[in-house]
C-alpha cells in the first residue's frame, strides 16, 4: 500500500478520519487485484451480483435504493463566497453555513465502514491539461467505478508529492453502522440529508448521503465540470460538456470535432458514429466531457478527462449505438438494469428478447407485468447505467490518451426542435458561434406543455446544471477564449436532427447519416464548398451536402433547410426573455448578436 509523503494531503486525510471515524483507512492503488477483491467482497455481502461469466465476463450488477437513482439537482450547491458569483442557474448556500451543516452530518458517518483514499487523475496521468485529485469515500461501489471512470494510480500520489497540488473530494453514503448492525444492499441517507456541495474558490467538493452516479463519483460532473469550469475561467482554458471525435477523410486528413448537446439529443450516438460516407471514418475520443487548452501553436487542444463511459442503458441497442453495446460486453458494471434468468443483463429498447429475471429493484420480473395502477412495470430504471472502460470501444481513437490532446477544428451545438431550426447552419464568425451555443434550446416535453409552459427550454452549451459559477461570466469566458484564439478558433455550427413534417414524420434519417453533415462541415473548413448567406448564418448550397442513396425528396430537403423568419423571431423573443435572467452579467457581445440577428430577420 502506497501512502503519500505530502504533508498537506496527509493532514487532510487525518482530519477526515478524525471527523468521520471509520473502522479502517485504505489507500487505493488502482490495481486489478484491488478491483477483484472489492468486487468479491460486494458479491459476498449481497451488494453486487456477478453476471454469467460466459455471457458477460467479469461484469457485475447493482441495485440502488429507490430513493437514490439519479443526480439530485435540488440538493446540489455552488457555495461561492458571494451569492452573486453563483448566478441564477445554481443553488447557493453560504459556504460557512454549508460546511457547518455538513460537518455535523460527517461526524461519525463512516463508523463501521472502511474509508478509501482514492488518488486519481482526470486526463492522462501527467498531461499538461490533466488535474490530480483525491476522493475519500466509504463506498466500495464508488472505488470500483472510479477505477473505470478515472485513472486511479500510485503515480498520482507521486505527482502530488512533487507538485503539492491536488483537488480534495470528500464523499460518504451517510449510513454509519452500529456494532453488530447488518449492512443493507445500497446504503444511503434520506433525501433531506443529501448534499452535493462545491466550493469553487477552494477547488473543494463535499458530497453526503448519495451513492449514485454523479453524486458520488466525484470526478464526473462535480470535478470535471462544476469545479473545472471555475478553474478554467481563472486559468485560461475550457471545461465543457462535449463529446470529442476524430473524422478522417479517404486521403487520411484528420478533423477533430467537439459537440455539445442537451440530454436526449444523440450525443453518445454521435461520439460513436458509424459513418455512411464512403471512405470517411469516425473514431471516438470522448463521449461526454472535453477539457481544452491553447497549445504552443495557438490552436485549442482537447483531452477527454475521463477513462470510461458512464452511459444511460435504456435505448442503447444494436440499431441506435452498436459501438456502445460492443463496449460493454465484458469488464462492465451495470446499475439498476434487469438481471435475466440466465445471468445476463437487459433493459428496455435493447433490441433483444428477455423472458424474465429480476428488475432494478431486485424483484422478480417479466416483460408485460402490470402494477396495481394498471401500468406496465419497467424492468430497468429509466436512468439505469453502464460503466465500462473507454479502451473497450471498438472505434476508440489511438489519440484518445495523447497527453497533448487533439486540435479542435469544429464546435457543434444543437437542440431538439421539430420545426424552426434547419438541419445545419454555420456561424458567420466565432462570436456568433458563441451566441448559438448560448441559446441552444429544445422544445418542452409533453408534460411541460400540459402545464401550459410553451417556452423553449434553453440549455447554454448543454452546461446549465454544470456551470460552477455565474453563467453570464461563463459566457464571457467563451468570448475571452475567442479573443485568445483569434483566427485559430474552431469553426462553429448548429445542427438539428429532429425536424418533422406537419404530420409527424422525421425529415432526416439521423444516426449514421449524420456523418454527411459532418463531412459538409469539414468541406467548409477546407474551403472546398461555398455556402449561401441567410439571416441565421451560412447554409449548404443544394448539392454540396450529399443526399445520394437517401429517401429524402427535394420537397423534404427544402423543408429541412427552410428558414422561416416569423418562427425565428419567436425563438429570438424566447431567447431574449431567457437571457434577461443574467442581468448585467450578460456579456454585451451576446446582446450585440441578438440585435444583429433581429436586424437580419427584418
Q: Alpha helix (H) ranges present in 529-564?
A: 554-560
Q: Which CATH number goes with the domain that contains 137? A: 3.40.449.10
One domain for residues 222 and 301: no
- CA angle 572-574-577, nearest 5°? 110
265 flagged as catalytic: yes
pLDDT digits (tens, 9 = 90+) for 354-404: 999 999 999 999 999 998 899 999 999 999 999 999 999 999 999 999 999
One domain for residues 276 and 299: yes
Beta sheet of 385-389, edge-to-edge order: 48-50, 60-62, 333-335, 385-389, 308-312
Distance (Å) of CA 281 to CA 260, 272, 309, 445: 20, 11, 21, 35
One domain for residues 213 and 264: no
Whether residue 312 lies inside any domain: the answer is no
Count: domains in the chain: 2
Task: Identify the H or E element spanning 98.
Answer: helix 95-106
Interval 523-534 mean pLDDT: 98
Looking at residue 485, its pLDDT comes to 98
Does residue 341 surpass a pLDDT of 80? yes
CA dist 378 and 360 (Å) reads 9
Say which residue the cell 433581429 belongs to: 598
pLDDT digits (tens, 9 = 90+) for 414-472: 999 999 999 999 999 999 999 999 999 998 754 443 444 457 999 999 999 999 999 99
CA dist 235 and 480 (Å) reads 12
One domain for residues 150 and 291: no
Whether residue 361 lies inside any domain: the answer is no
Cβ-based neighbours of 376, under 8 Å, separated by 6 or more = 368, 369, 370
One domain for residues 163 and 285: no
* Percent of the chain topping pLDDT 70: 98
Q: Of 171, 205, 235, which residue sits at a domain end? A: 235
CA dist 217 and 169 (Å) reads 10
CA dist 545 and 237 (Å) reads 34
Phi, psi dihedrals of residue 377, rounded to the nearest 5°: -90, 125
CA dist 205 and 170 (Å) reads 6
- CA angle 488-494-497, nearest 5°? 140
Higher-pLDDT residue of 445 and 9 is 9
Label residue 263 by pLDDT band (50, 70, 90): confident
Distance (Å) of CA 345 to CA 61, 388, 393, 568: 8, 14, 18, 45
Looking at residue 451, its pLDDT comes to 40
Label residue 534 by pLDDT band (50, 70, 90): very high
One domain for residues 165 and 254: no
pLDDT digits (tens, 9 = 90+) for 123-170: 999 999 999 999 999 999 999 999 999 999 999 999 999 999 999 999
* Percent of the chain topping pLDDT 90: 94
Looking at residue 445, its pLDDT comes to 57
Label residue 502 by pLDDT band (50, 70, 90): confident
Instruction: Give the domain range for residue 221.
Output: 7-47+71-235
Whether residue 355 lies inside any domain: the answer is no
As a residue count, the chain comes to: 602
CA dist 324 and 317 (Å) reads 8
One domain for residues 151 and 36: yes
Residue whose C-alpha is closest to residue 581's, from 88, 153, 112: 88
Task: Identify the H or E element spanning 433.
Answer: helix 430-438
- Rounded to the nearest integer, the mean pLDDT of the chain is 96
Task: Identify the H or E element spanning 136.
Answer: strand 131-137
Phi, psi dihedrals of residue 111, rounded to the nearest 5°: -60, 130
Which of the residues 20, 169, 265, 354 is marked catalytic? 265
One domain for residues 147 and 293: no
CA dist 463 and 87 (Å) reads 13
Q: What pTM was estimated for this model as a whole?
A: 0.97
- CA angle 332-223-261, nearest 5°? 75
Q: Of 193, 218, 235, which residue sits at a domain end? A: 235
Q: Of 186, 220, 235, which residue sits at a domain end? A: 235
Amino acid at each position: 500500500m502506497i501512502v503519500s509523503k505530502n504533508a498537506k494531503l496527509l493532514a487532510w486525510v487525518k482530519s477526515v478520519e478524525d471527523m468521520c471515524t471509520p473502522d479502517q483507512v485504505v489507500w487505493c492503488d488502482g490495481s486489478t487485484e484491488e478491483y477483484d477483491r472489492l468486487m468479491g467482497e460486494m458479491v459476498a455481502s449481497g451488494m453486487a451480483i456477478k453476471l454469467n461469466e460466459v455471457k458477460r465476463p467479469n461484469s457485475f450488477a447493482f441495485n440502488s435504493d429507490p430513493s437514490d437513482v439519479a443526480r439530485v439537482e435540488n440538493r446540489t450547491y455552488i457555495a461561492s463566497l458571494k451569492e452573486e458569483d453563483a448566478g441564477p442557474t445554481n443553488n447557493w448556500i453560504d459556504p460557512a453555513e454549508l460546511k457547518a451543516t455538513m460537518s455535523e452530518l460527517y461526524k461519525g458517518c463512516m463508523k463501521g465502514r472502511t474509508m478509501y483514499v482514492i488518488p486519481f487523475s482526470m486526463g492522462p496521468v501527467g498531461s499538461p491539461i490533466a488535474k490530480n485529485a483525491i476522493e475519500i469515500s466509504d463506498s466500495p461501489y464508488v472505488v470500483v467505478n472510479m477505477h473505470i471512470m478515472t485513472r486511479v494510480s500510485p503515480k498520482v500520489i507521486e505527482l502530488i508529492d512533487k507538485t503539492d497540488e491536488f483537488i480534495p473530494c470528500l464523499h460518504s453514503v451517510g449510513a454509519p453502522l452500529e456494532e453488530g448492525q447488518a449492512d443493507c444492499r445500497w446504503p444511503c441517507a434520506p433525501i433531506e440529508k443529501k448534499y452535493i456541495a462545491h466550493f469553487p474558490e477552494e477547488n473543494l467538493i463535499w458530497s453526503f448521503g448519495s451513492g449514485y452516479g454523479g453524486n458520488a463519483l466525484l470526478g464526473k460532473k462535480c470535478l470535471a465540470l462544476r469545479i473545472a469550469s471555475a478553474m478554467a475561467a481563472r486559468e485560461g482554458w475550457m471545461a465543457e460538456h462535449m463529446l470529442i471525435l476524430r473524422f478522417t477523410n479517404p486521403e487520411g486528413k484528420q478533423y477533430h470535432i467537439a459537440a455539445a448537446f442537451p440530454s436526449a439529443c444523440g450525443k453518445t450516438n454521435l461520439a460513436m458514429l458509424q459513418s455512411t460516407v464512403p471512405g470517411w471514418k469516425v473514431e471516438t475520443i470522448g463521449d461526454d466531457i472535453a477539457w481544452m487548452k491553447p497549445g504552443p501553436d495557438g490552436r485549442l487542444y482537447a483531452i477527454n478527462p475521463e477513462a470510461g463511459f458512464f452511459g444511460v442503458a435504456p435505448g442503447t441497442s444494436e440499431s441506435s449505438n452498436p459501438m456502445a453495446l460492443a463496449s460493454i460486453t465484458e469488464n462492465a458494471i451495470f446499475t439498476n438494469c434487469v438481471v435475466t434468468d440466465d445471468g445476463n443483463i437487459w433493459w428496455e429498447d435493447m433490441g433483444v428478447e428477455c423472458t424474465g429475471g429480476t428488475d432494478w429493484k431486485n424483484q422478480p420480473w417479466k416483460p408485460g407485468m402490470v402494477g396495481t395502477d394498471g401500468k406496465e412495470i419497467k424492468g430497468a430504471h429509466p436512468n439505469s447505467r453502464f460503466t465500462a472502460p473507454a479502451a473497450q470501444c471498438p472505434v476508440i481513437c489511438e489519440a484518445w490518451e495523447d497527453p497533448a490532446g487533439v486540435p479542435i477544428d469544429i464546435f457543434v451545438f444543437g437542440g431538439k426542435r421539430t420545426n424552426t431550426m434547419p438541419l445545419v447552419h454555420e456561424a458567420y464568425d466565432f462570436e456568433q458561434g458563441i451566441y448559438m451555443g448560448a441559446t441552444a434550446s429544445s422544445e418542452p416535453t409533453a408534460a411541460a406543455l400540459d402545464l401550459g409552459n410553451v417556452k423553449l427550454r434553453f440549455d447554454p452549451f448543454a452546461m446549465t446544471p454544470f456551470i460552477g459559477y455565474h453563467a453570464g461570466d461563463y459566457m464571457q469566458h467563451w468570448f475571452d477564449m475567442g479573443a485568445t484564439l483569434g483566427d485559430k478558433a474552431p469553426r462553429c455550427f448548429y445542427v438539428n436532427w429532429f425536424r418533422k413534417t406537419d404530420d409527424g414524420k422525421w425529415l432526416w434519417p439521423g444516426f449514421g447519416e449524420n456523418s454527411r453533415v459532418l463531412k459538409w462541415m469539414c468541406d467548409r473548413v477546407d474551403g472546398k464548398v461555398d455556402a449561401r448567406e441567410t439571416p441565421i448564418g451560412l447554409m449548404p448550397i443544394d448539392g454540396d451536402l450529399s443526399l445520394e442513396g437517401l429517401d429524402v425528396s427535394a420537397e423534404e430537403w427544402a423543408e429541412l433547410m427552410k428558414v422561416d423568419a416569423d418562427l425565428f423571431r419567436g425563438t429570438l423573443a424566447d431567447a431574449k426573455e431567457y437571457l434577461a435572467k443574467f442581468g448585467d452579467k450578460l456579456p454585451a457581445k451576446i446582446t450585440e448578436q441578438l440585435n444583429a440577428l433581429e436586424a437580419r430577420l427584418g
